[in-house]
Amino acid sequence: MMHRRNTAGERVTINIDGKNVEAVVGESVAAAVLAAGAGATRTTPVSGAPRAPYCMMGVCFECLMDIDGIPNRQACMVSVTPGMKIKRQAGARTVGGAS
């Protein structure tokens, strides 16, 4: 969906749905995911409709993703860090902790 016209800056490797990709320090997770060629970044808990980042500034909550094991984080407001694990979400999140 997006490409970097300039990759100046420090690189990090992050993992999106099991695949390692390069990102640039300072980028948001949402930006990195868009650059990795995602279509939908989640499906909704209401109807299962596909959604992707809409505002990139923290107001629409469409970019919710599982980041380092915590679901429903605003990917546009979190910066990439080395080794970060990012997953797309399908429908309502789970509540970990029990079998």
* Per-residue contact flags (x/-) with another protein for residues 4 to 43, judged by CB under 8 A: xxxxxx--------------x-xxx--xx-xx--xxxx--
Q: How far apart are CA 69 and CA 65, in angstroms?
A: 10
Residue 87 near another protein by CB under 8 A: no
- The one among 18, 19, 20, 95 contacting another protein by CB under 8 A: 95
* Three-class DSSP category at 33: helix
Instruction: Enumerate binding residues for ligand FES (CB under 6 A).
Output: 30, 53-56, 58-63, 74, 76
Q: Would you count residue 2 as binding another protein (CB under 8 A)?
A: yes
Please classify residue 23 by burial: count the beta carbons closer than 10 Å to its beta carbon, then call 0-12 exposed, 13-18 middle and 19+ buried.
buried
